[in-house]
Amino acid sequence: MAIRNIRKMGDEVLRKPSKEIKEMTSRTMLLIEDMFDTMYEAYGVGLAAPQVGILKRLVVIDTYEGQPLVLINPKIVEKDGEQIGDEGCLSLPGKVAVVKRPNHVVCEALDRDMNPIRVEGEGLLARAICHELDHLDGVLYPDVAEEPVRDVEEEEE
């Protein structure tokens, strides 16, 4: 396992669409483990493969409310409700903006064994799923924010 370099806003890989994963390989399994290590090292709750420079439809999420999730080729199939709040990103360290997201989502994906799964999320998990899936299509939260991005330090003063 290794800590990978998290790509920052401005890196063109973050703006490219990701490709579907057709089969599980030892390289993809290693990528999953590295992504969890990288996310935990950076104190994140989610990480998408493009954030570590890999254009694959793969995200890992751990909101510390249940089991850590591996979502391969994920798609949101249902969403409802609304939540509005600050959102940050490991690719924009020290920054936040107000983003409107659904409060409830249902996501269909494959797990690390390439078995179909259905994940239902509310609150933070719904926000994390939406945020990470946006990365797979080259979308960053400032693109969908309700207001301009601001420094976290401004809030603490």
Question: Is 132 part of the annotated catalytic residue set?
Answer: yes
Residue 89 is labelled as binding a ligand: yes
> What span, in angstroms and rounded, lies between the C-alpha atoms of 154 and 157?
6
Residue 131 is labelled as binding a ligand: yes
Q: How far is CA 145 from CA 47, 79, 86, 92, 124, in A?
A: 19, 18, 9, 13, 16
The torsion angles phi and psi of 141, rounded to 5 degrees, stand at -60, -30
Which structure tokens are listed for 156?
Answer: 């603490």
Burial class (CB in 10 A: 0-12, 13-18, 19+), 136: buried
Query: Which residue among 132, 146, 154, 157 is the active-site one?
Result: 132
The span from the first CA to the last CA of the chain, in angstroms, equals 38
Residue 107 is labelled as binding a ligand: no
> What span, in angstroms and rounded, lies between the C-alpha atoms of 36 and 42?
10
Burial 22-37 (b: 16+ CB within 10 A, else e): eeeeeebeebbebbbb
Active site residues: 132
Binding-site residues for Fe cation, please? Answer: 89, 131, 135
Binding-site residues, please? Answer: 89, 131, 135
